[in-house]
Amino acid sequence: MAGNGFYDVVIIGAGPGGLSAGIYSMRAAMNTVLLEKSFPGGQVVTSNEVENYLGFEHINGADLADRFYKHALSYDLEIIDSEVSVLEPGNEFHTVRIADKGIIRTHSVIMATGGSPRKLNIPGEEEYYGKGVSYCAVCDGFFFRDKTVVVVGGGDSAAEEALYLAKLARQVYIVHRRDELRASRILQQRIHAEKKIKILWSSVVTAINADEDGVSSVDLKDTGTGEQDVLKTDGVFIFIGFKPNSELAPAGIKLSAQGYVMTDEKCETRIPGIFAVGDLREKYARQIVSAAADGCTAALAAAHYVEKKKAGSR
Ligand code: NAP
């Protein structure tokens, strides 16, 4: 660990927001460390196609994440494979407790911990996870070649993943609780043009059933009439949004009703020197490009904060 365990900037999370913050922080000559508990790249890694990141008309999510990672490493950003257990704010410095590597003291912290897939919380979902229930089409779609799958949700993720699954599966059913999709127009057009995809409107999955081979069917309910039905399927892919990973946010930080971290335009929280970026932050659009932009904003603001602090004027 560089800097005797004392840093100017500690970044938690190596998604697009965290890695972008790392690049800007290194360019600002801040003594910086990035802590990541699993793999670099964040949710982008699980995306099959990325078509809306500036400069790339079309790129695989894992390839884009790899480029982000290598770009950050090219600035000699220190990246430590560690899980942060507690973030303790302080007046002089903030303390980051790492599960197995002690503590780090820092002038500033950029939280970039992203979000996790939301669960339906229905019978069978947890029980048959990995036996036909999945939250990642790129990871598990391969197992459903020429099979039938159900995709739950009506947003961009559900639409994109349904299109990906349609390349592999025999039949894809999108089960959506309303009568119109939330997904962007371009994705809606592609969904409607894909013959293998059928949308079951105004319907919810109320239970996932399985036999000895794994998932075998889902119980459906019509949200209008209350009518119930059973649909045979080999797999269930759930894309009903994300919940922010805001567990580390200290008590003084304000969260939205949904648990997103509230920040100002500098991505700074109510605690001076603690910033939040990317999908963790309360904001209008949650995109790769906006996460990267947050990383830039927070790192520049953190550098300014640290310089003022060192100069004794803050
Ligand atoms: P989302 O936009 O929040 O959509 C979640 C979908 O799941 C909605 O259609 C919602 O229905 C449905 N839903 C929520 N809770 C449900 C429940 N309990 N039962 C059944 N259905 C439920 O989430 P997302 O698609 O994961 O996208 C998250 C963010 O990432 C969005 O800002 C999105 O634009 C962005 N994203 C962008 C791209 C891209 O630009 N290519 C790709 C992926 C994600 P309602 O519509 O009725 O609320």
Ligand 1 centroid–CA 47 distance in Å is 14
| Contact (CB, 8 A) for 7 and 279 | no
**Are residues 203 and 151 part of one domain?**
yes
145 — phi, psi (to 5°)? -60, 130
**pTM of this structure:** 0.85
Residue nearest to atom 36 of ligand 1 (CA): 156
**Are residues 189 and 147 part of one domain?**
yes
**Are residues 100 and 190 part of one domain?**
no
Ligand 1 centroid–CA 46 distance in Å is 16
pLDDT at 225: 97
pLDDT at 313: 57
Q: CA of 66: how far to CAs of 25, 32, 37, 42, 43, in Å?
A: 19, 20, 17, 11, 12
Q: Which of 57, 156, 281 to mutate to test ligand 1, by most ligand atoms within 8 A of the CB atom? A: 156
Specify the number of domains making up the chain.
2
Write down which residue in 203, 238, 273 finishes a domain. 238
DSSP string, 232-261: E-SEEEE---EEE--TT--TTS-B-TTSPB
Write down which residue in 205, 238, 271 finishes a domain. 238
How many residues are there in the chain? 314
Write down which residue in 208, 238, 268 finishes a domain. 238
Ligand 1 atom nearest to CA at 160: 42
User: Residue 74 belongs to what domain range?
Assistant: 5-116+242-312
Residue nearest to atom 16 of ligand 1 (CA): 240
**Are residues 151 and 91 part of one domain?**
no
Residues of the chain with pLDDT under 50: none
CATH code: domain of residue 191 = 3.50.50.60
**Which residues have CB under 6 Å of ligand 1?**
52, 120, 152-158, 160, 177-178, 182, 204, 239-242, 286-287
**Are residues 216 and 185 part of one domain?**
yes
pLDDT at 46: 81
**Are residues 95 and 142 part of one domain?**
no
Q: Which of 118, 182, 284 to mutate to test ligand 1, by most ligand atoms within 8 A of the CB atom? A: 182
Question: Which amino acids are annotated catalytic?
Answer: 136, 139-140
Number of Cβ within a 10 Å radius of residue 54: 7
**Are residues 112 and 249 part of one domain?**
yes
